């Protein structure tokens, strides 16, 4: 069996034990530390930290159970130990992995229990396999688990798209809010699952441990750079009695308070905050932008880009030394990369090319 030489490999055993220690320490860090070490200005979601800590502890338990299952097989039968370890992984790893990924989406709290309930047949099959020593169940169980993961991935991709629309419709600044890198986290999770399911060699086991280390590092980075949003822009339903007709003065209110009053220069101003400042409600303002074919984020970015262009022309006219980074910050952009992407989307050209183009 491929595990036997690994048990004689001191370097692998040190790596294996080190991964367990890393997972436990990272889990305790997420549970016990209130602030962030990576991005201290960010207040990361508590729910996400708890789910991630549970997942990391589940990974550590999985490592420990597999080690003892191989070294000390139940009733001297490695097959029984194999089924037991797989059952523990299905009960612990999959639900906490799914909970961690769903907790990154803050537009609403998505339940994990439907995916957990779908694993009941798998647990029953494992129990039958353990008591009857029936290996014929292994293939259908594996296919069921993989199909379960595929269904979850499809659900998650759709949820991520919905979350992205929610962000653009509610927030002017998306820094520390977007979860595009969650797809990167997901890719490492899927690599973990595939290696776990098909690792039947010494090399694959080494890659599995390295992948675990990458998962821990990527999770810690993602959690500590993701801002808590639920308190800033709660997801609220629309009352059935809400009139369909919007107030006719929303456009003039925006022009007076947001555009002329330069509210768009305020960092992290949300749709709800802007609605309050101009004297309307969040739903009306959201519907107004939807009818204009705009997102709230696009509206604010367009105003900031116009402000940048005005500042640039004023600086050129007065021969003032300026940089694009400086003007972007003065125009309300918290991140230059965000400004650069928004500028190109709005004007069709890069900031550098536009600044060096001859004046008309």
Q: Which helix (H) or strand (E) holds 54?
A: helix 46-71
168-181 tens-digit pLDDT = 999 988 888 887 76
46-67 tens-digit pLDDT = 999 999 999 999 999 999 998 8
Q: Is 262 left (phi over 0), alpha (psi -120 to 50) or beta?
A: left
Residue 58 · residue 98 · CB < 8 Å: no
Class level of CATH domain 3-224: mainly alpha
- Say what the pTM is: 0.84
Give domain 250-356's CATH architecture: Orthogonal Bundle (1.10)
Residue 238 · residue 283 · CB < 8 Å: yes
Sorting pLDDT into bands at 50, 70 and 90, what band is 241?
A: very low
Which residue from 228, 171, 215 is spatially nearest to 49, judged by alpha carbons? 228
Question: Residue 270, class by beta-carbon neighbours within 10 Å (0-12 exposed, 13-18 middle, 19+ buried)?
Answer: middle
Whole-angstrom distance, CA of residue 343 vs CA of residue 346: 5
Residue 102 · residue 112 · CB < 8 Å: yes
Residue 185 · residue 214 · CB < 8 Å: no
270-295 tens-digit pLDDT = 999 999 999 888 888 998 998 889 99
HSE, CB side, 13 Å, CA atoms: give it for residue 132.
11
Could you tell me the residue ranges of all domains in the chain?
3-224, 250-356
Instruction: Name 183's Cβ contacts closer than 8 Å, sequence gap at least 6.
Output: 160
For 6-32, what is the mean pLDDT? 92
HSE, CB side, 13 Å, CA atoms: give it for residue 181.
14
């Amino acid at each position: 069996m491929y595990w036997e030489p690994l048990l004689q490999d001191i370097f692998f055993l040190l790596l294996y034990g080190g991964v367990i220690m890393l997972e436990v320490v990272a889990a305790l860090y997420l549970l016990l530390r209130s602030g962030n070490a990576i991005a201290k200005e960010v207040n990361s979601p508590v729910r996400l930290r708890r789910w991630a800590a549970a997942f990391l502890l589940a990974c550590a338990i999985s490592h420990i159970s597999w080690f003892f299952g191989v070294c000390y097989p139940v009733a001297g039968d490695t097959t029984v130990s194999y089924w037991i370890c797989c059952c523990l992984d299905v009960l612990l790893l999959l639900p906490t992995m799914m909970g961690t990924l769903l907790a990154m989406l803050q537009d609403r709290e998505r339940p994990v229990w439907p995916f957990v309930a779908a694993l009941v047949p798998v647990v029953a099959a494992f129990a039958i396999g353990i008591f009857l020593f029936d290996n014929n169940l292994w293939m259908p169980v594996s296919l069921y688990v993989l199909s379960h993961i595929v269904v979850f991935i499809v659900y998650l991709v759709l949820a991520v798209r919905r979350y992205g629309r929610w962000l653009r419709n509610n927030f002017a600044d998306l820094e520390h809010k977007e979860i595009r890198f969650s797809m990167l986290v997901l890719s490492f999770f899927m690599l973990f699952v595939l290696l776990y399911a098909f690792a039947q060699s010494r090399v694959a086991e080494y890659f599995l441990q390295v992948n675990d280390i990458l998962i821990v590092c990527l999770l810690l980075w993602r959690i500590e750079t993701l801002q808590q949003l639920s308190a800033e822009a709660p997801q609220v339903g629309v009352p059935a009695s809400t009139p369909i007709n919007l107030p006719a003065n929303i456009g003039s209110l925006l022009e007076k308070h947001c555009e002329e009053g330069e509210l768009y220069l305020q960092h992290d101003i949300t749709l709800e905050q802007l609605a309050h400042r101009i004297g309307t409600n969040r739903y009306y303002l959201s519907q107004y932008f939807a009818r204009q074919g705009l997102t709230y984020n696009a509206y604010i970015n367009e105003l900031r880009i116009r402000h940048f262009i005005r500042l640039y022309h004023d600086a050129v006219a007065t021969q003032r030394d300026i940089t694009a980074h400086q003007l972007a910050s003065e125009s309300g952009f918290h991140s230059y990369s965000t400004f650069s992407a928004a500028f190109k989307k709005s004007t069709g050209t890069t900031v550098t090319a536009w600044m060096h183009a001859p004046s008309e």
